[in-house]
Amino acid sequence: MRALLATGDAATTGVTDLDESALDGAVLVDVTHSSINYKDGLAIGGRPGVIRDWPKVPGIDLVGTVAEDAAGWSAGERVLVNGWGLGESRHGGLAERARVEPHMLTRIPAGLTDVQAAAVGTAGYTAALGVLALQDAGMRLDGADILVTGAGGGVGSIAVQLLARAGAEVTALTGRVEQLEPWLRSLGAVAVEPRSSLGEAGRPLQSARWDAVADAVGGTILANALAQLRPGGHATACGLTAGAELPATVLPFILRGITLHGVHSVEQPAAQRERAWSMLEAKLDLAALDEATEVVGLEGAVDAAERILASSIRGRVVVDVRG
């Protein structure tokens, strides 16, 4: 089967023929699509922190059909996988076939095409988990002032959509205001601000602006956003492209009673995954998703990985592994 094999060296990573005997798992899936996430960019580029056992097929997302009856799954069922070590500790979605364990599979909602399911991918699924975290904390989204960081990326752009469609007044934070402002407003943002406004170290407690923050970048940006939360405010955190450190103090937590929710998407149970995907099917503007989706063949995945690390992708890149 054709597969993109990451070797740990960007110069030798590329499309090759891989024997199916390298795959391990109870359920065989004929893969149609995967996508390019930040983790995939790191893996394909040979960067540390994602793949520890080289070589490996990257791709933390997988969309396809069950190839043969196995472990309670029937041949022909449309399925997806997000997380569970896919493309990290086991061969991932950037290949024509994959083997996974039965608990890893989620049925693709009937209202989504394979390309749309891949475009949503781990990024959109994570965004949905963040919205669920706010709702489960008892927060009323309708009319709330919510900041979304990393709004030009996969997580952020889908978070903007979901929150705006829930009635929130969304401010999108991005490092590419000139390029992305019209698009982000079309997704539902009422305002777009430059990343630089939160990029420098600020006071531990700042003017209160936000009822909630949906953060996808971490670092100083998240620390400043926490310092700007209103009393009783909530923040979700799911990314670290701006840094893994959190140079914040406890003052907003003590003096304003704010809450920070970590969003862990990799090992969520089936029920929570189904909640997230049901929300995505019901609330996403699929026409907007299609407009923001670029489809490339397997050979184009390396270039896409370079572009995602350079923060030059708008929206989502889907890989048609058959192309």
Where exactly are the structural domains of the chain? Answer: 2-108+292-320, 123-262
CATH superfamily of the 2-108+292-320 domain: Medium-chain alcohol dehydrogenases, catalytic domain (3.90.180.10)
Query: Which residue is listed with tokens 């998407």?
Result: 265
**For 163-191, how does the pLDDT look when each residue is reduced to its tens digit (9 = 90+)?**
999 999 999 999 999 999 999 999 999 99
Gap between the Cα atoms of 109 and 58, Å rounded = 24
Instruction: Compute the average pLDDT of residues 84-111.
Output: 98
Global confidence as pTM? 0.94
- Residue 69 — very low, low, confident or very high, per pLDDT cuts 50/70/90? very high
pLDDT over 90 (residue 311): no
Gap between the Cα atoms of 164 and 153, Å rounded = 16
Gap between the Cα atoms of 265 and 250, Å rounded = 26
- Residue 315 — very low, low, confident or very high, per pLDDT cuts 50/70/90? confident
Instruction: Compute the average pLDDT of residues 138-153.
Output: 97
pLDDT at 314: 87
Q: Report the CATH number of the 123-262 domain.
A: 3.40.50.720
Report the share of the chain in percent with pLDDT over 70.
Answer: 100
pLDDT over 90 (residue 323): no
